[in-house]
Structure formats: C-alpha cells, structure tokens
Amino acid sequence: MNKRYEDLEELMSTGEAREVKRAMAVRMSLLGFVRAEAALACCVSVQFVDKWKAIYLASGVEGLKLAYKGSPGYLKPREREDVINWIQEKKTITIEELKRYLKEEYDVFYSSNTSYTKLLEEANLSYKKTHKENSAKDEVKVEAKKKEIKDLIDKEREQIESGEVMYWMQDESHQLWGDICAYVWSKKGERTSIKMSNYRTSQTWYGAVNIYTGEFILDRAKKADTKYTIDFINWLIYRYKEARHVIIWDGASYHRSEGLRTYLEKLNGGLPESEWKVRLLRFAPNAPEQNPVEDIWLQGKNWVRKNFHRLSSFEEVTSMFETFLSGKVFKFNKIKQYLIPNI
C-alpha cells in the first residue's frame, strides 16, 4: 500500500474523532473521490476537505493532528514586507494560494488561518463575494442609456414632482427554497441543515421602485411571461389611476413581445407619445447592475436567510419576503444617479 495512505489509515485507527474525520476526508480525496462525495461521506463541507488536504500535502499526517503547531518558521520583517508586496500585485487571492506560496518560498506554515488573514488584511484586501459581469457589456451603451433616462426625467421634472408622471424601474425575481440557505455560525464539524419539502417549489415576483419617491411595490405571479407582465402593468395603473407611467426594465423577451406591443397600442389609443398612459424604456443590454430593483431583491433574500430558523414551510418563506419588502422606501445611489440635478 502507498505509504501516503498507510499513515492516514493509522491515524484513522488511533486518532481522536476530529483527527479521524480529517484523515478520512483527505484519504477519500487522494483516492480519487470528487470533493462533494468525500464531503458527503464524512459529513463535512467541501471547504473542510480542501483545507485538510492542503495541510496534509504541505505537512504530512502530523498536520492533521490536534496538537500540531505548524512550522516553527516565521517571516522576518523584510520577508513579511516582500509577501505583502506579492499579495498586492494580485487582483484576487485565496488563503490556500497564500499557504502554498509561504511554504514553497519561505518554508512557513501557520496552524491557524488567522495568521494568513492578517497578512491579507495588511495588504489591504478584504473578503468579499464575487459578482458576475457579462463579457458582452458595453460601457458606452450603459452611459448613453443613463444620459437618455436623465434627460427624459429632467424634461418631465414638473410632472414628476406633481405626481402626474411616475417613473418606475422594474424587475422580476424567482424565489426558490434554496434561497434560504446561507452561512451561519454553528458547531465545528457538524452540518447545519434546513428541511425542505420540495426543492423545486418557487415563487415569481414582479417589483418596481418609484425613482422619485423611492416607494417599492410588489406583486406575486405564477411565472414571468407576457400575460403576467400585462397583469402587473394593469395593477400599477389601477393603483395610480390619475398618473401616466414610464417603466424602465431589461430586454427580457416578454418585455418586448408582440402581445405586449398589441396591449400597449390598445391602451395608449393612438395618443401622442407625451400623453401615453404607459411608456416603456429599456436599460442598456448585458448590465443588470443598472437596475436598483436587483439590490432590493437581494435585501429581501438576505433578510429571509438571516431568519431561516423561524421558517418551516415555503409559504412562510414567501410571506416573510413579502412582508419585509412591501411598502418599503428605497433611496440609494442607483436611483439618485438619475436625478441630477436632484429633485
């Protein structure tokens, strides 16, 4: 048997419970099991598998033991400065990458991630979630669209102030059972689970924020399509009968369908554009971050995640989401940027 596996099996036979779990996870990974399989079999996270495999490869089986204190080596002041400079040259970095670099270049291995975190903080890095950005995004088009919207708002400033015209930024969200899952503090080595009756259960929401008042309105729908889009517009008109509406949204197919165009032609009844009951504008393509409603959805979902322990059914999930967002007022920079000079 490969010596690399013998030392792991010995620790699995003689070690304490936490050492056994570490050795088992590492051994399964080295035997070729995918990370998720090893994590599931050992009742740990994928991150747990990655962490202890990296420590084992760097320090051997001793690194998996509870009493292991890491390499006696440490960074001298000049070396620490060089490491900080190396970190700052990188746009992103992981702790595992930093561990490998310190081990290979300086033969330094810390037993606690805190030592690595301190180095990253000294380099003025912070731990943050990555964000998707569409490679097809055109900044020129984004800026041109912002200017177009600002110019329209400025032109109709008096009507907006009086409530005669309402500008809305609109979006849809599809809420799933899985949206309730998030990071929480819990006992080490134990999995924190949320019982779900049906993973595919979902709720579609239509939402719009008034860019002058900051008022957010929310409505349920079975799905996002032309029919429910028209239903939402009709509901908006019903709520604010005396106003004319400008809706700004993305280029989803049901936002530009033939059925929607037919509906608008009938609704606006041949009137000049300045008197239309509803006008539609689109954001620049491939740049969802333009729409402040994206941030509003995130606030609602984060609130639900923070309160997951109080929820036992998907109906409670959607009810909490709706209660949190309904009637709220949002005035943040993504809205204010269109109100220059400020209303």
Total domains, the chain = 3
Burial tier of 37 (Cβ tally within 10 Å: 0-12, 13-18, 19+): middle
Residue 279 host element (H or E): strand 278-282
Q: Is residue 183 part of a domain?
A: yes
User: Is residue 342 in a domain?
Assistant: no
- pLDDT for the residue 225: 94
Residue 193 lies in a domain: yes
User: Contact at 8 Å (CB) between 308 and 193?
Assistant: no
Whether the CA torsion 226, 227, 232, 234 is positive or negative: it is: positive
Q: 152 and 103 in one domain?
A: no
CATH number at residue 191: 3.30.420.10
Say what the pLDDT of residue 71 is.
45
Q: What is the CA radius of gyration of the chain?
A: 27
In this predicted model, what pLDDT tens digit does every residue of 175-210 receive, in sequence order? 876 666 554 444 555 554 545 455 457 899 999 999
In whole angstroms, give the CA distance from residue 288 to residue 142: 10
List, in order, residues 6 or more apart from 330 with CB less than 8 Å away: 209, 214, 216, 292, 295, 296
Widest CA span of the chain, in angstroms?
A: 84
Residues 189 and 242 in one domain: yes
| 180 and 114 within one domain | no
pLDDT in the model for residue 73: 52
Quick one: 152 and 96 in the same domain?
Answer: no
Kindly state whether residue 189 falls inside one of the protein's structural domains: yes
Listing DSSP states for 197-221 in one string gives S-TT-EEEEEEEEETTT-BEEEEEE
pLDDT confidence of residue 287: 76
Mean pLDDT, rounded, for 2-31: 81
| Dist CA 105 CA 93 (whole Å) | 16
Is 80 exceeded by the pLDDT of residue 25? Answer: yes
Listed residues 64, 92, 111: the one ending a domain: 64
Over residues 132-146, the mean pLDDT reads 75
Strand partners of residue 220: 205
Same domain for 177 and 212, yes or no, is yes
- Is 70 contained in some domain? no
Distance CA 206, CA 233 (A): 10
For residue 341, whether the previous peptide bond is cis, meaning omega lies within 30 degrees of 0, is yes
Range of the domain at 253: 139-337
Same domain, 149 and 258: yes
Question: Do 185 and 267 sit in the same domain of this protein?
Answer: yes
Give yes or no for residue 220 having a pLDDT over 90: yes
Residue 131 maps to a domain: no
Residues 274, 147 share a domain: yes
Helix, strand, or coil here: 252? coil
329 and 199 within one domain: yes
Cα(204)–Cα(317) distance, integer angstroms: 13
Give the tens place of pLDDT for each residue, 286-327: 777 888 999 999 899 888 888 877 777 888 889 999 999 998
Percent of residues, the chain, with pLDDT higher than 90: 32
Copy the structure tokens of residue 169: 């930024």
48 plus 185 within the same structural domain: no
Token pair listed for 208: 């719009």
| pTM > 0.95 | no
Taking the C-alpha atoms of residue 331 and residue 140, their distance in angstroms, rounded to an integer, is 26
Residue listed under structure tokens 């962490």: 51
| Structure tokens belonging to residue 35 | 């990370």
Could you give the count of Cα atoms lying within 13 Å of 48 in the half-sphere of its Cβ?
23
More reliable by pLDDT, 249 or 126: 249
Average pLDDT, the chain: 82
Q: What H or E segment, with its residue span, contains residue 230?
A: helix 226-239
